[in-house]
Amino acid sequence: MLTKVYSSKRCEECGYVWLNPVPGKRELDKYYNQAYSVPLYQDKAVRSKGGLVLRELKRRGLRKNATLLDVGASHGFFLSLAKKQGFVPRGVELSLAAVKSAKTSLGIAIENSSLGTSSFAKKANTIDAITFLDVLEHVTNQKEALKVAKRILKKDGLLAMTMPNAACTEFKLFRSNWEWFTPPAHIHFHTPQSLHILLEEGFTDIKIVSIRGDAGGNMIMQAYTAARQGIFYSLRYVVGRKRLRKIKKDIEKRMSEASEESGEEFAGFSRLVYKMSKFFDPLFAEFDKARNRRGKGPSLFVTAMKA
């Protein structure tokens, strides 16, 4: 948000929020060429979420030896878990560094491409299940991506996705300072209603629930993160955007290195706040259950069948 001022629009009927205008290919290529992918230290979180996804896919009939294609496969954590559970892992990923890491560390072969330009897109009715785990919000043309997914899925093939929830409590409270409002990376923010509308064209038996997902801590931690971000970005009026961009890059580099070294998501003072906030998790447990039932949790988890 320091290199460019982004604006968003919201559909008053379904609550769908999107960046307007949608970032162009050159802008996104520049962003993703910075070796963007899921950090290695999030291995545990990805596998935990992956376990939930695989349990639901199996509940819906996905059998062992089924071919599972993960779009935005990153370092292959989820595909490694799927392989251990008896599925045939396939994946596509834009980050070459992540693709190499998956092959070297986990023995998982991932294609360095987008879904639309991949070899899989050329073969209709060949895949048993496709997953977009916190990926669809990054895709400029989501309808086209889902069209490709439907084409390559077998009859009664399954789709599973997770993504930020625009109807969640955090977004309503913190808006542009919400941890997942991160243009140009995140372009689309769906609600359960808008996501159902999006999927109705090519899929059936759609099930959407809200979950905790990858949210970085409870509401106390979320409030801290939002306040920190709001204060930081307000400094652009003091030091200027160019200077603040450099400061931000330096901070992110140091924090990333510290997180990689410790194997933890948070480092420094943020790590201290996170640990302190964990004491209040029992108090938020019932609150989280209640809001998830109302579709207000920070993440959406959807499964559907090819129509």
pLDDT at 79: 97
Pair 40, 84 in one domain: yes
Q: Is residue 233 part of a domain?
A: yes
Pair 105, 136 in one domain: yes
Pair 298, 179 in one domain: yes
Structure-model confidence comparison of residues 242 and 37, the more confident one: 242
pLDDT at 38: 64
Pair 175, 105 in one domain: yes
Q: Give the H or E element holding residue 278.
A: helix 268-278
Of 31-45, 223-237, 254-268, 279-293, the least confident: 31-45
CA-closest candidate to residue 213, choices 156, 265, 163, 172: 163
pLDDT at 236: 86
Residues 6+ apart with CB under 8 A from 162: 49, 53, 132, 133, 134, 211, 213, 299, 300, 301, 302
With H, G, I as helix, E, B as strand and everything else as coil, classify residue 272. Answer: helix
Q: Is residue 231 part of a domain?
A: yes
Q: Mean pLDDT across the chain, nearest whole number?
A: 91
Pair 188, 258 in one domain: no
Pair 28, 116 in one domain: yes
Structural domain harbouring 165: 8-219+287-306
Mean pLDDT of 55-66: 98
Of 106-115, 144-153, 235-244, the least confident: 235-244
The answer to whether the pTM exceeds 0.85 is yes
Mean pLDDT of 232-256: 84
Q: Is residue 106 part of a domain?
A: yes
The total of structural domains in the chain comes to 2
Mean pLDDT of 14-35: 80
pLDDT at 144: 97
